Amino acid sequence: MAKPNFIELPGCDAIPIIFEDRSVLAIDKPRGWMLVPDSWRKTNWNLQTAIDSSIRADDFWARSRNLRYLRHVHRLDADTSGVMLFAKSEGAMRAMGDLFESRQMEKTYLAVVEGVPKEKEWTCQLPIGSDPKNFGKMRVDYSEEGRESETHFRVLMSNERFTLIEASPLTGRTHQIRLHLAESGSPIMCDEIYGRVEKGFRLGLRAVQLAYKDAFTRRPVNIIAPAEEFLREFNFKLTPELQSSKWVRRAFVPKEKGQGEKSPLLVKKNPAS
């Protein structure tokens, strides 16, 4: 029987696996799942703990892969969806972690803000540190405790209310994109920490791409999560201009007989390899 291209955990929808090789497995993380230490008992939505439990239970998605180890290499906020990378071994964990630490991992997010930013393209380099007065919140921190941070932003399109922004963080600080956009005067839609919440909407932030050179094979790897549903939430369409973006997945299929060469087709999900 073929390996399923999803992770099944109790009490929730199946989580799509969007990429897999011998070293790593990447999922399209749904909103709601947290990545917190096992000792943190304030939620039942601890993704790492749930996956560990499923592996120990020998559930089919894990058994079919002979998985005994699967550990998240990086983090996404609970309400941020999209590409989430896991290592299949301690050796892969170290190698992938080094790529993040050495800034050799290309990360791309889509962010939705209200209104139109002043600039079409800009880079924010404000240092980030923990806010001592507000647990779980970050702030701009110019002291020695503040850590250098850098995010490049590019406006993609606007509609009657929202603007869609491509965010490319060079560093990986907690809440980096959220804080940098808020400090730029354009907080992310429905950000309860750095902006405001509006009924009927969810946090407008999605991780759509991870790209890197494999530490073992030296081959380029490009992992993309589908963006169509996220765009529809905020009344954006996947226009021809957006379809040329690096984070849009494409495949090529033959046209019907007599219609010539192959043509591009947008694919919503990439089955695990």
Under the phi-then-psi rule, with left for phi > 0, alpha for psi from -120 to 50, and beta for the rest, what region is 240?
A: alpha
Q: Residue by residue, what is the 3-state secondary structure of 83-143? A: EEEEECCHHHHHHHHHHHHCCCCEEEEEEEEECCCCCCEEEECCCEEECCCCCCCEEECCC
Nearest Cα to Cα of residue 110 among 206, 225, 189: 206
The answer to whether 129 touches 138, Cβ cutoff 8 Å, is yes
- Angle formed at CA 170 by CA 98 and CA 27, multiple of 5 degrees: 65
**180/118 Cα distance (integer angstroms):** 14
**150/168 Cα distance (integer angstroms):** 9
Q: Among the options 28, 59, 77, 79, which is catalytic?
A: 77
In what helix (H) or strand (E) does residue 63 lie, and over which residues does it extend? helix 60-63
| Catalytic-residue membership of 77 | yes
| Strand 81-87 with 205-213, pairing | parallel
CA atoms within 13 A on the CB side of 57: 12
- A 10 A CB-CB count for 167 gives 23
The answer to whether 149 touches 180, Cβ cutoff 8 Å, is yes
Q: Which residues are designated catalytic?
A: 77
